[in-house]
Amino acid sequence: MSRWSWVLGCLFLAAVLGIAAIMIQRPVPETAAAPVLEDLTEIRIEVLNGCGEDGVAQRVSRNLRALGFDVMSWANAPSFNYPESIVIDRIGKPELARKVAEAMGIGNQIQQIIPDPFRIEQVTVIVGRDHQHLALISMP
């Protein structure tokens, strides 16, 4: 083996070791953690029929449950004069109402907190006359 081959071999080995040392010392970039899906069963919902059509609140409730939401009750709204459906945050956690609204395709969201120690629902959905256009109604 010639002297130059030995020198080139040593230089190559030094380069490989140098690169390895740099890679070991360099911090590994953190990868974004996969988003943790919130358990939808923790969102307690009340569904109210605001359009007057028979069975709408029950049908929407059944479809919300099929998606994993916890529908606590369904009933008629105080009025049947709701032209559009609306999602109401009852406890000051608008992110819960947003999840329900997104699942239903409802753009109307408000916050209405009325202190009531007996209220267990966190979100109220009032189904309006636009109910045929909601994402959930088309579900089996």
- Residue 133, beta-bridge partner list: none
Residue spans of the domains in the chain: they are 40-133
Answer yes or no: are the C-beta atoms of 127 and 57 closer than 8 Å. yes
Domain covering 40-133 assigned CATH 3.40.1350 in the classification: no
Answer yes or no: are the C-beta atoms of 100 and 71 closer than 8 Å. no
**pLDDT of 90 over the 90 cut:** yes
pLDDT at 22: 65
Q: How would you class 59 by CB atoms within 10 Å of its CB: exposed for 0-12, middle for 13-18, buried for 19 or more?
A: buried
Proportion of the chain above pLDDT 70, given as a percent: 71
User: 0.85 cut: is pTM over it?
Assistant: no
Half-sphere exposure (Cβ direction) of 132: Cα atoms closer than 13 Å: 2
Integer Rg of the chain from CA: 29
Answer yes or no: are the C-beta atoms of 50 and 77 closer than 8 Å. yes
d(CA 25, CA 5): 30
pLDDT top residue among 67 and 9: 67
CA torsion angle 90 91 95 99 (round to 10): -40
pLDDT top residue among 4 and 87: 87
Stretch 3-18: mean pLDDT: 68
Residues 22-81: pLDDT tens digits?
A: 666 655 455 444 334 357 789 999 999 999 999 999 999 999 999 999 999 999 999 999
